[in-house]
């Protein structure tokens, strides 16, 4: 049955404690994972917590990647949601396993936005982003 996107629920165990508590490194890893998967990055926002832990999001044209870290447990929860068929979210998930130095990765895959074939035979990825016109001189 046609669907709009894939949403991976990823759990990373045995990660590098130093990486999980370094907001710059976590942001770098998430950014690079999105690019590695072939996504188009639109924006990013990351927040560091006291005494430890990080939450963040990379907004991509194809949807998003989110992260929440628990350095005290060597654990990270990461979601990778992509729409369309051009990008495989598992590429980003595997990239992050190596980047975080995780000993174990578990992945649950959800297909999002189901349509019956009678409703639509072809599901376009999504409308093109509007181009803002800029006067460049």
- Catalytic residue numbers, as ranges: 63, 68, 83
Alpha carbons within 13 angstroms on the beta-carbon side of residue 133 total 1
Q: For residue 15, what are the CA distances in angstroms to 29, 60, 84, 88, 105?
A: 13, 25, 30, 23, 10
Task: Please check whether residue 119 is in contact with residue 31, taking contact to mean a CB–CB distance below 8 angstroms.
Answer: no
């Amino acid at each position: 049955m046609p669907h709009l996107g894939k949403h991976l629920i990823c759990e990373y165990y045995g990660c590098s404690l130093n990486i999980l508590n370094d907001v710059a490194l976590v942001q770098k890893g998430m950014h690079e994972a999105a690019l590695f998967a072939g996504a188009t990055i639109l924006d990013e926002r990351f927040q560091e917590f006291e005494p430890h832990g990080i939450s963040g999001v990379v907004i991509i044209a194809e949807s998003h990647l989110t992260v929440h870290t628990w350095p005290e447990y060597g654990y990270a929860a990461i979601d990778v949601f992509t729409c369309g068929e051009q990008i495989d979210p598992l590429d980003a998930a595997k990239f992050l396993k190596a980047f975080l130095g995780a000993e174990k990765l578990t992945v649950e895959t959800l297909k999002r936005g189901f349509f019956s074939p009678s409703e639509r035979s072809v599901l376009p990825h999504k409308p093109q982003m509007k181009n803002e016109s800029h006067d460049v001189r």
